[in-house]
Structure 1
């Protein structure tokens, strides 16, 4: 292992260290108590972001349950370097938000189109007017409901209740909120920030709830049920009669590592055929992943790994040559059979994300190959075969056709979904596909 590889491995270890996180939390809490400050939570809102349609009411619920001071900030759309596919993102965000809304029984339905730009601008002006009087979160909720229904009368009623700022004042408020978010280290709206840590989206809120409860900040004196508990796979089983579950992994995606073993187990429980459709990492497909985005993803992956009981954090980043070598061997393994492809994919991901194995070296790659039950001599010869490149490109094009671009993604039946934390949707879809089979058997 070269010195640069070793240094990067040490950086990842430090970044994801639970002990470092706990020390940081203790320092933040000691400082808060010393200064006599409240538990201050920052919420970053953008009216036209569907994620905020859920986060605004959840943030209000957080205020009811915990003794916190909520500061609302307006922010601009994500910058180009953190938004790799602006054409597909809005539609995906609406569909994903609608699925979460159904899961949590929250009021959002995908209207099938983007919100009206004039109404969105007016919503921002109304929220700006409410920023200084403690009503900003209620203004965000009211304007959000009107915005997504394209309800002019509802927006007018919100303006009557909360006021409406001038365009210049709104622009300044948005500029200030965006600058603060960037300074604190995030890149999106629909995010909550508390004492050094970020919570993006409804299904990460439970982490903040647990943290605040641990600090004794809950109002009722006891910890209530979570506003938005993590959606867990039900772990049922059924017969989909060999239906295909397309799985789109990347060897450089920590979320792919978190998903793969569970995805294969899910396919097996439902008698579905798991079809691996590997793609190159985003950064190797000329899609930007700037540092602040990468840091958030690593920290988020660490806490998700802890929740799932998976080792994570001894990372040897496979960017570049290690990923190319891994994909060459994965292609070779898949030609040997489905079981061999699965085994090598799992071995590689665990090695680079949890065991610090340098897949760019022959010593490291051999360890991953032989652990998967493959012959090293044959795998080493496969490194000279570039046939995997055309397959990866075809898989990428297929992924884009599905309206997705990130990994891990999954497609089966009528469902195309992105994220290791969306496997519960895959299970719901497989259950739906199995129902006709069960009906036929009963008849």
Structure 2
């Protein structure tokens, strides 16, 4: 029996990026289905979040993510441009969010095409992998193609019915909360939440208790 779990994931989360190669490898090695459920980052979901955050957190996050990337052998740099438009000094996040809105909707469209994991893998790699101007030229188009998707087709689907994608994102965020956590990456297996890129081994351990098998 194929096991499955929900993956709540954000295009602005470095930890989501750092977890993705291992999650993709998990799906390739084991008989498991990953239900990709993109959500908006916490900066969008919780108004004023960065006005209240502990000032020690951002510098620690940068040190920690650089360390993990080095350990995992992954290319890593803070995105240019940042998927979130915000005033770094004040923590103000405007309502208009052209980058993250498009990316999150594209993630939903890719998941509905059955290519969620490849799309997350390829797109996050250009966002966090040191590609300056990842939103310009053909970077996104080529990343989508490597995932087996046509970017123009995805954009057309979203333009035709944007409310559908926003509704799905809202449903994903509600399911994330119901799953027991607010952060990403969050894996929820049979109602049990596993939060963070360092909980993948725990997730595998639990699924093995439930009969997880390697692919033949």
Which of the five TM-score ranges fits, normalised by the shorter chain?
0.7 to 0.9
- Counterpart of 2:43? 283
**1:420-439 matches, cutoff 5 A:** 420-434=197-211
Compare relative contact order (CA 8 Å, sep 6+) and give the higher one, 1 or 2: 2
CA contact (8 A) 1:249 1:408 kept: yes
What's the CA shift for 1:388? 1.8
CA contact (8 A) 1:270 1:430 kept: no
- Counterpart of 1:300? 64
What is the distance in 1 between the residues matched to 2:141 and 2:158? 12
Secondary structure, aligned partner of 1:380: helix
Instruction: Report the TM-score when normalising by structure 2.
Output: 0.80
Shift of the 292–363 alpha-carbon distance from structure 1 to 2, 3 Å rule, reads farther
**Counterpart pick for 1:413 among 190, 195, 200:** 190
Shift of the 329–362 alpha-carbon distance from structure 1 to 2, 3 Å rule, reads farther
What's the CA shift for 1:263? 1.4
CA contact (8 A) 1:278 1:395 kept: yes
Shift of the 433–414 alpha-carbon distance from structure 1 to 2, 3 Å rule, reads farther
What is the distance in 1 between the residues matched to 2:127 and 2:65? 14
CA contact (8 A) 1:328 1:382 kept: no
What is the distance in 2 between the residues matched to 1:262 and 1:345? 12
- Counterpart of 1:145? none
Output the aligned Cα RMSD.
2.1
What is the distance in 2 between the residues matched to 1:359 and 1:383? 20
Structure with the largest fraction of helix: 1
**Structure 1: which 4+ aligned runs deviate by more than 3 Å?**
289-292, 357-364
Shift of the 271–333 alpha-carbon distance from structure 1 to 2, 3 Å rule, reads same
1:377 aligns with 2:152: yes
Identify unmatched segments of 5+ residues in structure 2. 85-96
Computing the radius of gyration over CA atoms, which structure comes out larger, 1 or 2?
A: 1
**Counterpart pick for 1:344 among 119, 122, 129:** 119
Secondary structure, aligned partner of 1:358: coil
Q: Write the deviation string for residues 63-101 of structure 1: whole angstroms up to 9, x where unpaired.
A: xxxxxxxxxxxxxxxxxxxxxxxxxxxxxxxxxxxxxxx
**Counterpart pick for 1:395 among 172, 179, 183:** 172
What's the CA shift for 1:312? 0.8
What's the CA shift for 1:314? 5.3
Instruction: Report the TM-score when normalising by structure 1.
Output: 0.41
CA contact (8 A) 1:413 1:433 kept: no
Identify unmatched segments of 5+ residues in structure 1. 1-240, 438-443
